[in-house]
C-alpha cells in the first residue's frame, strides 16, 4: 500500500521556517532544546568519526543548518575540506561564514533538497546528517538517499545520523511520544508542547532505528552501530 504524504509540509514550507530561524540554530545551547541530548549526540557522532577516520580530508554535512556539526568536527580534525548542504539559503550562508573562519580547507556549499544531490563516488571520509533525514517521505526516498551516501563514501568512511526517530512497536511509539510531550510541556508549557508536536506531525516522517540500520546493511555498510538513544531521538550510523 502506497502511503499518502500529500498533507505533509512542502519543501517551500520547510525552507521558509528554517530561513527565519538562523540565529536560534546558530547556537546549540538555545537552538536545540526540542532535540533531546543534542550536545551529547553531536559529541558522540563527531568523536566516532574521529576514531573511525582519523586521517579524514573530506567531510559532507547534509542538512547542515548553521554548521554546528561541521564546526564540532573541525575541533577534532583540523582543516577538513567541507561540503555543506541545506535547503535554506540563509542557514547555508551562516554555516559557510562560520566554517570558513575555522578551516583552511576548501568550503563548498550546495543549496538543494538532499534527495537531488549529485555526489561523486568514493569522495567523502565522513558524512553527517543531523535532524534532516526525517524529512524524507516514502521508502524509495530513504533507499535512494542511503544508496547515494554509501556510494559517496570512501571505503572505510563513515556516516553518522542524529535524528528524530519512531518505533516499530505502536505501544512503544505511544509511550515515548507521550514522554517526549511531557518533556516539552515542562520546557515551555502546554501551548509550546502542542506547537512543537504539531509541526513535527506536519513536517516530519521519521523512521525507526531498526529500519535505518537494516537499510544501511542492505545498501552495503559493513558495520552499523547505535551510539545513543533517548525517547524519540537517537544517534547511530555505519562504516563502509
Query: In this predicted structure, what is the pLDDT of residue 30?
Result: 46
Give the integer Cα–Cα distance in Å for 226 and 4.
30
Selected from 2.40.340.10, 3.20.130.10, 3.30.1330.80, 3.40.50.150, the CATH number assigned to the domain covering 11-165+208-239 reads 3.40.50.150
pLDDT value, residue 71: 96
pLDDT attached to residue 16: 62
Below-50 pLDDT ranges, the chain: 1, 19, 30
Q: Given this model, what pLDDT does residue 12 score?
A: 66
**Closest of 232, 3, 5 to residue 131, by C-alpha:** 232
Quick one: CA dihedral 46, 72, 133, 44, positive or negative? positive
Instruction: Measure the CA–CA gap between 204 and 90, rounded to whole angstroms.
Output: 21
| pLDDT of the residue at 15 | 53
Amino acid at each position: 500500500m502506497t502511503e499518502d504524504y500529500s498533507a505533509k509540509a512542502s519543501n517551500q514550507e520547510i525552507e521558509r521556517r528554517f530561513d527565519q530561524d538562523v540565529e536560534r540554530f546558530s547556537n546549540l545551547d538555545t537552538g536545540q532544546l526540542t532535540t533531546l541530548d543534542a550536545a551529547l549526540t553531536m559529541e558522540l557522532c563527531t568523536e566516532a568519526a574521529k576514531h573511525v577516520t582519523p586521517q579524514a580530508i573530506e567531510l559532507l554535512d547534509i542538512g547542515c543548518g548553521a554548521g554546528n556539526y561541521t564546526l564540532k568536527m573541525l575541533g577534532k580534525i583540523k582543516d577538513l575540506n567541507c561540503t555543506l548542504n541545506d535547503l535554506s539559503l540563509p542557514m547555508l550562508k551562516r554555516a559557510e561564514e562560520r566554517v570558513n573562519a575555522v578551516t583552511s580547507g576548501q568550503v563548498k556549499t550546495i543549496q538543494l533538497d538532499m534527495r537531488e544531490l549529485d555526489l561523486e563516488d568514493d569522495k567523502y571520509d565522513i558524512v553527517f546528517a543531523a535532524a534532516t533525514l526525517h524529512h524524507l517521505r516514502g521508502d524509495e526516498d530513504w533507499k535512494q538517499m542511503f544508496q547515494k551516501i554509501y556510494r559517496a563514501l570512501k571505503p572505510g568512511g563513515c556516516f553518522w545520523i542524529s535524528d528524530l526517530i519512531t518505533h516499530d512497536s505502536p505501544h512503544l511509539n505511544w509511550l515515548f511520544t507521550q514522554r517526549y510531550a511531557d518533556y516539552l510541556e515542562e520546557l515551555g508549557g502546554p501551548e509550546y508542547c502542542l506547537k512543537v508536536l504539531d509541526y513535527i506531525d506536519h513536517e516530519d516522517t521519521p523512521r525507526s532505528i531498526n529500519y535505518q540500520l537494516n537499510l544501511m546493511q542492505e545498501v552495503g555498510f559493513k558495520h552499523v552501530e547505535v551510539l545513543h538513544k533517548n525517547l524519540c531521538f537517537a544517534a547511530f550510523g555505519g562504516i563502509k
